[in-house]
Amino acid sequence: MPEKKTAAKKKAKKQTLVIVESPAKAKTIEKYLGPGYTVRASMGHLIDLPKSRLAVNVENNFQPEYITVRGRAKLLKELQKEAKKADEVLLASDNDREGEAIAYHLRSAFADKVKAPIHRIVFNEITPQAILEAVKSPSDIDEAKVNAQKARRVLDRLVGYNLSPLLWKKVKNGLSAGRVQSVALKLICEREKEVENFIPEEYWTLDADFMKGKSKFTAQLVQYDGKKPALSNEKSVNDIIAEIKNAKCVISDIKDTDKSVKPKPPFTTSKLQQAAANRLGFTSKKTMQVAQQLYEGVNIGSNRVGLITYMRTDSVRISPVAIEEVRKFIGENYPKELPAEPIEYSVGKKAQDAHEAIRPTYVTYTPDYVKEFLTRDQLRLYSIIWERFVSSQMINAKNRTTSVDIQAGSALFRLSATKVVEKGFYRAIKILSSKEDKGVSLPSLSVGENLEPLKFYPEQHFTQGPARYTDASIVKMLEEKGIGRPSTYAPIISVLLDRYYVNRSNKQLVPTPLGRMICDILVESFPEVINENFTAEVEDNLDKIEDDKLDWTKMMGDFFFGFKDRVDELMGSLESYKGMMDEKTDKVCELCGKPMVKKLGRFGFFLACSGFPECRNTRSIPLAKCPRPGCNGEIVARKTKSRGKEFYGCTNYPECDFISHFKPINATCPKCGQFLVEKYTKKHGTIKSCINPECDYLHTSEDEGADAEGADE
């Protein structure tokens, strides 16, 4: 009997514990690995710096004082218990600095309790092949990468935990400041100043309808007396019309110009966020959440599949295997669009190139094939990733632009139409380039033909100032300036919104009064820290630490002591801004009768009783008088209970159920006297429209007090 037990023990299969970061990923990987493997999730960091104190020993080479994250001790013990039963432990957290740190801390937590060997595995995609190859080739933890994460974490802690108390003392309790977020806030505030300081200039354009036979088409004035027309006012346009309205109109030139259009490289994180914002209307945060779902795995029929490669990357590199697969797919489905050789894209100088570009794991899983298994948002994001990758390995497209010049006296009008003459990579694209296939058709025309002028259309415009940042444009700017990394773009925006330093209005990022005040204080007090160059330099140094070319403690020492001296100096010398945002009002507290004061809180302005703390009454700021006949209520901002979406309702609710989804502004309608609301349309941008449904008043940024008919919903 003992001999049989020994034989049975020898036949017992090796048990391996694999620890990943998320449960969804664990579920997918466990299915791929099969018997003998247990896959568990750490749910991110289990060991980190405490939130309640600095926890960095400045006197001891800036060593961090890590603790088990509050509420995560139970999970850590469960993982330790699983690890004790295993014959091998594989740490499979994400292949980036944060993932390396998670693996490092888990190994440290297991060291005295687990006898099994502990190794690190990494992969760029969650496919059976990638996972099995990773398991076959375990490695050690990259200590240099851990040091880079440690340096970033400690530096941000030193900055945040020194700046925040300064803001508490000088501005308001509860405020906070971060190294990278403050620079992003600076960019947004600087753009807002440009928007406010911009002075629009009037200019006019002139279009004209021409007729040939039964065909009518419109051309635009492009030259007058051989020069580009300077139409600064209505008189200058009318003078030209008066001169040419009876002139002979002749086609003076017809020119075809062909342009070769190259496909774009597959997505990096920043480019994906930009495309998703512009094409799908996604915020950066939403883009990364949906991409995470696609990466970790979704059920395609009876199979669970990781549909895309790792979504945090700054590289456009593609693996040779993926190149071979996509070229085979193109050859079978778009044979005429297959180039003779694979197309290579250059990796940017600042790219870490740790991962491939974002691409589908299986190119044969087309958007049409997977659409029944995905949510709407998953399908839309997957579609643009798939399209971008497949089209990146196809031949160029060719566009042909036909320009028709029409001479009318001293005026030259031009009509241009572009059409696709060789589709090339456009064949793989539906969402990313929705207009390429829609050419303007022209009637048959020839040089020397006479045309009949029908009508002139002078139109007044005003030059448009710089646009406020959106999620897409701020991410683009952060990337260009070397601020942050692929993993931080979305969190940077989220933090600014959560702190109420920035609001999102019509997809634009607008600094709040609180955000502008914080920005002014930080930039004026710490110009050497709150600037793009310092932040980019930090990123470069972190890369050097990861490459084992710089000691992280030296980086801390070079920065900290001068910074801390400046903080201590300002603690005594900086004037206090407390109370400066409070504003007296004519409103009276309905509870105690004392005047109400307009205050700035974390989530915006509100009214508070001046009798605080004896009276703690607060209420929302009234924005307008209720337009309902006989109602004496006021319109205030409210939020829905389910999603927290802002709307505007009457203070007399439920007696008065007036609701508007558009924000009232401090202006009355010149036609009917009711209040105006601010709307956003694709045609006009931001407009002011009357709240009265029976009034047609509309004011756009191009109007100078003029009325227009109808509101563009």
Catalytic residue numbers?
310
Lookup: tokens for 410: 């001293």
CB 649 within 8 A of CB 661: no
* Spatial separation of the C-alpha atoms in residues 529 and 126, rounded to whole Å: 40
Instruction: Please identify which residue in the block is written with the tokens 């009355």.
Output: 668
* Spatial separation of the C-alpha atoms in residues 44 and 104, rounded to whole Å: 12
Closest listed residue to residue 181, CA positions, set 150, 152, 156, 158: 156
* Spatial separation of the C-alpha atoms in residues 220 and 210, rounded to whole Å: 11
Closest listed residue to residue 43, CA positions, set 12, 79, 88: 79
* Spatial separation of the C-alpha atoms in residues 263 and 422, rounded to whole Å: 13
DSSP calls for 377-434? HHHHHHHHHHHHHHHTTSPPEEEEEEEEEEEETTEEEEEEEEEEEE-GGGGG-SSS-S
Report which secondary-structure segment, H or E, holds 259. Answer: strand 249-261
From residue 403, how far is each of 253, 415, 416, 441, 447 by CA, in Å? Answer: 8, 6, 4, 12, 12
* Spatial separation of the C-alpha atoms in residues 123 and 343, rounded to whole Å: 24
* Spatial separation of the C-alpha atoms in residues 247 and 231, rounded to whole Å: 20
Query: What are residue 251's DSSP bridge partners?
Result: 406
Sign of the torsion formed by the C-alpha atoms of 624, 465, 438 and 710? positive
* Spatial separation of the C-alpha atoms in residues 668 and 627, rounded to whole Å: 11
Amino acid at 81: K
Size of the chain in residues:
713
Instruction: Please identify which residue in the block is written with the tokens 């696709």.
Output: 420
* Residue 674 per-residue DSSP state: P
* Spatial separation of the C-alpha atoms in residues 46 and 194, rounded to whole Å: 44
The CA R_g of the chain, rounded to the nearest whole Å, is: 32
* Spatial separation of the C-alpha atoms in residues 363 and 326, rounded to whole Å: 6
Pairing of strands 663-668, 450-462: unpaired
* Spatial separation of the C-alpha atoms in residues 249 and 246, rounded to whole Å: 9
CB 700 within 8 A of CB 685: yes
